[in-house]
Structure 1
Amino acid sequence: MKNVAQQFITQRLKHLTVSDIHSYSKKYRIPVSKAEAVAIVKALKKNKENPFDPEGRKRMLMKLAAITSKDTARSVNKILIKMAKEYGVEDWLK
């Protein structure tokens, strides 16, 4: 069941919109500009890394940092962690 849920979440990440990113950034009080949100969406659509694997998430965030900035990658990581906590699956990110 865990694998199915992880696949669903990974698929959902690939289909996030700029509006979704802004909503999450406001909800979790993590500033993300419109340009950063656009870059995040593009990067997530291309992402082939597993965000639940620590090394995969690290590679994903490093690629995002190369495209945008380290601050943007940190913001995405914070949003992922807060979302995981909200849904009670934060242990999946360890």
Structure 2
Amino acid sequence: MNFMLKQIIRTRIMQLTPGELIRHAHAYNIDLSLNQANQIINVLRESDLDPFSKADLNKLFDRLEQITDASTAEKGREILTQFVKQYGVADWFE
């Protein structure tokens, strides 16, 4: 994937709001509270990990689990998985 597209996606991730995350969760039939959405957003924003690296994504979700709980981390992982499948970009996430 080209660098420009990766930058656009990284920027969009940093601008994601809790309300948008909740809407995505509900679209995938995932029950996500406002508190959980805020926790996920905070971890995303304070992280400098590469969202296109599986190793970095695993670190991100491990960090989320440490700060919150296993349920919130799993919901975050499931939202990302469903989003990637929906747009057919699984190969972008090595």
TM above 0.5: yes
Aligned residue for 2:32, secondary structure, equals coil
Please state how far the C-alpha of 1:12 moved relative to its aligned partner. Answer: 1.1
1:71 is the counterpart of 2:79: no
Q: CA deviation digits over 1:30-77, x for unaligned, max 9?
A: 111111111111111111111210110011111111111111111111
Q: Which runs of 4+ in 1 moved over 4 A?
A: none
Separation in structure 1 between the aligned mates of residue 39 and residue 21 of structure 2, nearest angstrom: 11
Instruction: Show structure 1 runs of 5+ residues with no match.
Output: none
Give the residue type in structure 2 aligned to 1:80: L
Deviates more, 1:6-15 or 1:30-39: 6-15
> In the alignment, what sits opposite 1:9?
9
In 2, distance between residues paired with 1:62 and 1:21? 19
SS in 1 for 2:31: coil
* Secondary structure, counterpart of 1:73 in structure 2: helix
SS at structure 2 position matched to 1:49: coil
User: 1:24 aligned to 2:24?
Assistant: yes
Are 2:33 and 1:33 equivalent residues in the alignment?
yes
TM-score (norm 2): 0.89
Query: In the TM superposition, what is the alpha-carbon distance from 1:6 to its structure 2 partner?
Result: 2.1
